[in-house]
Structure 1
Amino acid sequence: MSDIFISYKREDKARVEALYTLLLDLDAPVWFDAGIEVAMEWEARILEQIEKARAVIVCWSFAAVSSHWVIREATIGLERGILVPVTIHPCALIPPFDALQSADLTQWDGSPDHPEVQKVLLRLGLLIGKKNLARNGRLRAGGQKEAMVDLIRALLVERALSGGDPFTYKEAEEALRAAAAEEELHIGEFDQHSLWGALDAIAEQCRRRREPPLDVLVVSKDTGRPGRGYWQKHAFLPGDGDDLEKLVFERHLAAVRASNWSQDV
């Protein structure tokens, strides 16, 4: 079972998915009904999830306020004292929800350190027992800053051109710290979440430029291949380390090493 249940109206799915993805990135167990299995009883599955959830996020919009199902789910969360209301589109709330403070995500750009989403993460952290959830969000955002992304990209391009072994996550973190010190760049608090944020930004950059995935050059020390998040985001695989993932890794790695990265050096 997931700790966090997201209630929303189907018309708002694209907006809600950004919040869902952020929570997954922060390793917060989260569920919303886009994941209902084929042939599963819809109402029964929803009730099963919400009854065992430790936090219920309700995503308010005009469509959500008009939805019997969203109101019902929000009421369950309110009665259990685990409701986390957020507004994703401007709307007028109905009683008793109009008396509750709601995080304003109407202008949220997806950044994990946005003040309003930080309020959500703080509340969720308390409810599900992950007190560092908001902090980890800030650290992840720190890794996505332009200067940090430029540094990690330069390190990965250099490694690709040299044909050297991929970095382990720890080696990449240490190399990034050293490069920042050399550039006299103050990176502040920095840990694995910051590195993951930087790698996410690099992955998106490579997709936009139609380049091979540079982030394949950062791997787990134990498996010698990228972590679970890499597979789930880039190859739609579970990240269990099976033979298919091994073949995909080898192909991605070969493509990165064969690419012309001269524009970066």
Structure 2
Amino acid sequence: MSEQAWSEAMSRAFIDYGRFFVPARETQLWLLAELLPADAPLRVVELACGEGLLAEAILRRHPQARLIGLDGSAAMRAAAAARLAPFGGRFEVRPFDLFAADWRQMRGADAVVSSLTIHHLDDAGKRQLYADLFAMLAPGGVLLIADLVQPAGAAGTAVAARAWDDAVRQHGEAAFAAFEQAQWNLYRHPDPMDRPSRLFDQLRWLAAAGFGEVDVFWMQAGHAIFGGRRLAS
């Protein structure tokens, strides 16, 4: 997203509290790494790599993989570079703006992964992004998305809000107090910068962009892991 939308202060807060604020974060990281093709020299692009937790999980699970991490925050890029320094040239971090077109010109990726960033695009922006990501992938390449999704109705929204609160409370009252103070639960505290779309719609947009094997792999508290594959022609 643009720097106006996401401040460096928010980046530092997420580095401090992200492990508490994201439901089942370790499970999500493990699953995203497991869903990538095994025993292959993967070329991976990660959108909004943050402090590098997902990149680290992928590089550890896939010793032949190389990963380009894109992020719009200088604080996040610095944290990722420090965390992933032991992987040497297998990791490269670059600045990016989710809304810009330049980075979307990359081609030949074996996988594109994204965690908690695409929900900042509106519906039209997501549809265009999925078409652009399809073009970025080599035949057989996979797209994996971990993100917030919008429940279809009020009942689902209420359940997602409660489930998210409960997931954070499991880490203690101090974590939940910080979560509440930051008004992080967008199902209770809507913010113009957060534009989650219905999961059903996003699966259709992936299929319309050309992806096959479109599927949902995990979901909890309004957070879902889903994606598809650019089938080999």
Could you state the TM-score of these two structures normalised by the residue count of structure 2?
A: 0.28
Greater gyration radius: 1
Higher strand share: 2
Higher helix share: 1
Q: Which has the higher contact order (CA 8 A, sep 6+)?
A: 2
